[in-house]
Amino acid sequence: MKWLVVGAGSAGCVVARRLVDAGHEVTLVEAGPALRPQSVPAAISGDDSFAALDEPGRTHRGLMARRTRRSNPAPYLRGRGEGGSGAVNSMVGLRGDRRLYESWGWSDADSCFERVLVPTERAIPNEVGRITRLFLDAEPRAELAPLTRRGGQRVTAAEAYLWPVLNRLTTVPDALVDRVDFDQSGAAVGVLLADGTRLDADAVVVCAGAIHTPAILLRSGLAESGVGDGLCDHPAAALTLQLKDPAGARGLTTSGLADLDPVQLLPVDHLGASNSPDLAVLLVALMRPSPGSGTVRLAADDPSVHPVVELDLLGDDTDVSRLCDGVESALELLGSPGFERAVDEVYIDDAGTTAHTLDGRAAISEWLRWRGADYVHASSSMAGALEAHGRVRAHEHLLVADASALPAIPNVNTNLPTMMLAERFVRQWVESDA
């Protein structure tokens, strides 16, 4: 059987590899650059996620999203190229709440996580930056985070899944997919690239991520309910720390976190070489938000034009209240003796407004509604249009396997859960011949 996989991010790499393992003919199409053993950029294999984000071609430049109903659109960084967001993220690798997956009917989630080939390891002491060290000392629930690395270097899904089978797989990098091609019955028979090239297949799997998968399917003419609906992310708030003395503060970008369920605290020890070395961040994220109400819509019927992304975060008062709790916990933590000695000031925006203005829950709530951020964990924007195991309703031989197919956003960073989903879906397809 001839399969065509659109998107070589974390999920697409899983799908392509498992289909090859099952003896199928597979073509993997990716909008961004290849990632090969002999030419991995140092920024991607290194310890600075901001440098990885700056690597040419590795993010969808110009993609914007509105976070809350009151905010203005701002850049929304999504991974691009083989390895996807897993090649540029902060490498946090968590599985999430088994009970949540069981509530979806996914009783096999644990066994699917065991199939995931991307390893995790925790930072060693000399990699931990000063802010994370203070965080680990001050917060009893803090711990070193599992990171998607081996021997101190990032491991992407491209390395773990694609590299061992490159001689049995056709890859087409730097190829922008316009739309899926259908026969008269509505069954998928291939894709049309932006340059007019047509690629034929017996089945098409779209793994372009929670933003670009619905965009491709909207351009393909899918008008079914659920395409581009239900978009979700983890609402977040950023407290920017100005250090009194940046010497010795750097370390890994991120190496520790605290699960204050339903909130996660994540220290970021530096903001990359292009920012001042005396800046760090403490992120506060709501990991169990209300069901997603965001949308992905086309701005134009042109694959080179980014879609319109409305995240619609913090529209629910309960979410605002829970994130307020997290911000109050973070501010209390920053008032501990160790942070007081190390941090000169705490800012809540890029205009120099200090955290002293957050004098009560009403002020925090108002700040969140205007300045609420995200965790760049887009998910669930196709869940309402899918049948079991990622099959697109009303279209034979068309499947989706990426974060857009998650029934709801997991309570953790989404990279490992997305690979788990892909392992789960593709196993069922192989067993049932799709």
| 140 and 42 assigned to the same domain | no
| 79 and 38 assigned to the same domain | yes
Residues in Cβ contact with 47 at an 8 Å cutoff, skipping those fewer than 6 apart: 127, 152, 252, 253
| 49 and 143 assigned to the same domain | no
| 204 and 283 assigned to the same domain | no
Residue carrying the six token digits 């034929």: 200
Spatial distance between the Cα atoms of 47 and 123, rounded to a whole number of angstroms: 10
> How many independent structural domains does the chain possess?
2
| 38 and 107 assigned to the same domain | yes
Q: CA-based Rg of the chain, rounded to a whole angstrom? A: 21
Residue carrying the six token digits 């289909």: 19
DSSP 125: G
Spatial distance between the Cα atoms of 373 and 380, rounded to a whole number of angstroms: 18
DSSP 158-194: IIIIIGGGGGG-EEE-S--EEEEEE-TTS-EEEEEET
Spatial distance between the Cα atoms of 403 and 292, rounded to a whole number of angstroms: 13
Is the Cβ–Cβ distance between 181 and 29 less than 8 Å? no
296 domain-assigned: no
Pick from 340, 356, 371: which residue ends a domain? 371
Structure token digits, residue 190: 């291939």
Pick from 371, 387, 411: which residue ends a domain? 371
| 203 and 321 assigned to the same domain | no
Spatial distance between the Cα atoms of 432 and 434, rounded to a whole number of angstroms: 5
93 domain-assigned: yes
Does residue 222 sit in helix, strand or coil? coil
Phi, psi torsion values for 82, nearest 5 degrees: -60, 130
If one counts every other C-beta atom within 10 angstroms of the C-beta of residue 107, the result is 10
Is the Cβ–Cβ distance between 341 and 146 less than 8 Å? no
Distances in Å between the alpha carbon of 216 and those of 87, 125, 184, 303?
Answer: 22, 44, 19, 8
For strand 25-29 and strand 2-6, is the pairing parallel, antiparallel, or unpaired?
Answer: parallel
106 domain-assigned: yes
Distances in Å between the alpha carbon of 174 and those of 43, 82, 306?
Answer: 20, 10, 16
| 37 and 142 assigned to the same domain | no
Q: pLDDT at position 110, please?
A: 98
Pick from 371, 403, 420: which residue ends a domain? 371
70 domain-assigned: no
Q: pLDDT at position 274, please?
A: 86
| 104 and 181 assigned to the same domain | yes
Q: Which domain holds residue 264?
A: 130-152+236-288+314-371
CATH number of residue 1's parent domain:
3.50.50.60
CA atoms within 13 A on the CB side of 262: 20
| 249 and 224 assigned to the same domain | no
Question: What dihedral angle (degrees, nearest 10) is formed by the CA atoms of 211, 217, 218, 224?
Answer: -110
Q: First-to-last CA distance in the chain?
A: 10
| 171 and 29 assigned to the same domain | yes
Residue carrying the six token digits 């802010």: 131
Type of residue at 67? R
Given a cut of 50, the residues of the chain with pLDDT beneath it are none
302 domain-assigned: no
Does residue 404 sit in helix, strand or coil? helix
Is the Cβ–Cβ distance between 100 and 411 less than 8 Å? yes
For strand 203-206 and strand 2-6, is the pairing parallel, antiparallel, or unpaired?
Answer: parallel
299 domain-assigned: no
CATH number of residue 351's parent domain:
3.30.410.40
| 221 and 363 assigned to the same domain | no
| 223 and 257 assigned to the same domain | no
Residue carrying the six token digits 């120099």: 352
294 domain-assigned: no
pTM, two decimals, is 0.97
Distance of alpha carbon 45 from the chain centroid: 18
Distance of alpha carbon 355 from the chain centroid: 28
Distances in Å between the alpha carbon of 42 and those of 21, 48, 121?
Answer: 30, 10, 19
165 domain-assigned: yes
Q: pLDDT at position 46, please?
A: 86
Does residue 236 sit in helix, strand or coil? strand
